[in-house]
Amino acid sequence: MEKEIKFYYPAIYAEVNKDLDKNIKDYKEKCKELGRTDIKFVYLFEEEELQFDSKPFLNKSLEDRIEYAYRKLKWKINKDNIIISFRHSSNAYVDSNVTCKRLYELTQKYPYIKLGIEDADITWDVYDIIKANQKLDDIAGKIKKLDLSPAEQLLMAYFEVTGISYNEESQDENIFTSRAIYSILNSDKIVCVGYVELLKEIMARVNKDNVVMFENCLMLNENGTDYSHMTAIVYLKDEKYNLNGYYYIDPTSDTKRKDEPNKFALASFLVPLGMLRYSFNELKSDEMTEKRGIAQLMNALDSNAKLSYNYIKDMPSSVVDEDARPNKRLLNHMLNNCIELREKYNINDETKMQKEIDKKVNKYLIGDHELCFDFLKSQSEPIKIGQLVSMILAVLKKNNFTREEAYSRVKYILKNNMRKEGAFFIKNKLSRFSYDNLKSFCEKYPEFNIFKEQITVQKNSTKEGKEQTC
């Protein structure tokens, strides 16, 4: 079976640039070049247009725009190759329930048009979208009803996500099977990108104001081999724990592996950015850092992926490496929430704030990655072990753990993470799970003492040694 090929054309180009005919010509040339008659032409809207279609674009409703596109295309392209799709967005202002409802209405109105949501380069129909969103709503609903603080909500979602076994796609499957949100929710495949996407989608439903996630793409070097790895930067505001800043998380490194019990790992949960210099991973920037935050044309062929032309995607960023720069969305968010940056750029007029922020981001911050990283670090105060234990206990209590069960689970988590952190980080003072910090915590709170057993064993060993000597 031949690989599916898609030609993507953003709707806004057709409507503003009025160059649909030119792109149809490009499409036909590509069909001829590849000797294929089954290349899909994807006319691509943005998902938020399903959300805000009450505001007509260029004085046209969404229905008018879909009808115009289909009429224009069907006379020049085989109707079996026409797809009208909406590029998926996990931005907080997109309500997926509204998306599902509107897409269903459009599907009923236009049964002869193949409509769907474009997630990476896979087109999902409305029924798969509804099924996947129900799974997300079930997880989010369980968390929301428990009356937890934002940090506690994030922790519970983190436990949910990292409890899923890591499972790569097979060689004959599309690489996005384990990476795109609708793919992972409709399959049992998930890798690093999928963990970040899943956590991001859940938190957008649970608490979109106080927990905001940003993709963080790393270029790593391990044992002489270069590869990429997706982690995240999370903005967290929580009055209960006096938190208002940015932290690094890597759910993949804390996840369970297949046929392995859930070890409740938190070594890579809410890590202060300053601690990342102690990571065993060799982080490095790459040529993509020069283009971060810019919409690009992607024209790549992967042995396991579909071939896609003109698929526009915002590049993620790597802010854990001081040589890389944050993407535009994170920079905008920093200027909205970082007092020092707003003072530096004199952004104080609320009525024109967003316009000012966009201007400052484009003019200054895109190029000044060192300044950005310094300000990110300034709002990344270490979360102490006592704070983390309080979060864990709050989550366990709301999940009906008895006091004895909760304390036992906390001790298990502390032990497990003291071992696990040694595999990811060089010894440092910022670490919550270092021997010294845990020892100090356990001396102050003996009910969580994970060293008692070791001390008893040491004493018994010494006693036995003395008896043998005598």
By mean pLDDT, which of 29-43, 308-322, 359-373 is the weakest?
Answer: 308-322
Rounded CA gap, 448 and 441, in Å? Answer: 8
**What local confidence, expressed as pLDDT, does residue 92 receive?**
55
Counting DSSP H helices and E strands in the chain, the numbers are: 17, 11
pLDDT the model gives residue 146: 94
* Model pLDDT, residue 136: 93
Assign 295 a pLDDT band (cuts: 50, 70, 90): very low
Given a cut of 90, is residue 161 above it in pLDDT?
Answer: yes
**Mean pLDDT estimate for the chain:** 82
From CA 374, how far away is CA 271, in angstroms rounded? Answer: 16
Least confident of 136-145, 184-193, 321-330, 417-426: 321-330
Residue-level pLDDT at 458: 44
Instruction: Give the residue ranges of DSSP H helices in 43-179.
Output: 48-51, 62-74, 96-109, 126-144, 150-162
- Pairwise CA distance, residues 316 & 318, whole Å: 7
CB count within 10 Å of CB 244 equals 16
What is the mean pLDDT of the segment spanning 320-337? 80
Buried b (16+ CB within 10 A) or exposed e, 424-451: bbeeeebbbbbeebbeebbeeeeebbbb
In the structure, what pLDDT confidence band is assigned to residue 438 with cuts at 50, 70 and 90? very high
**pLDDT confidence of residue 296:** 26
pLDDT at 186 over 50: yes
**How many whole angstroms separate alpha carbon 39 and alpha carbon 82?**
9
pLDDT of residue 293: 28
Question: Does the global pTM surpass 0.75?
Answer: yes
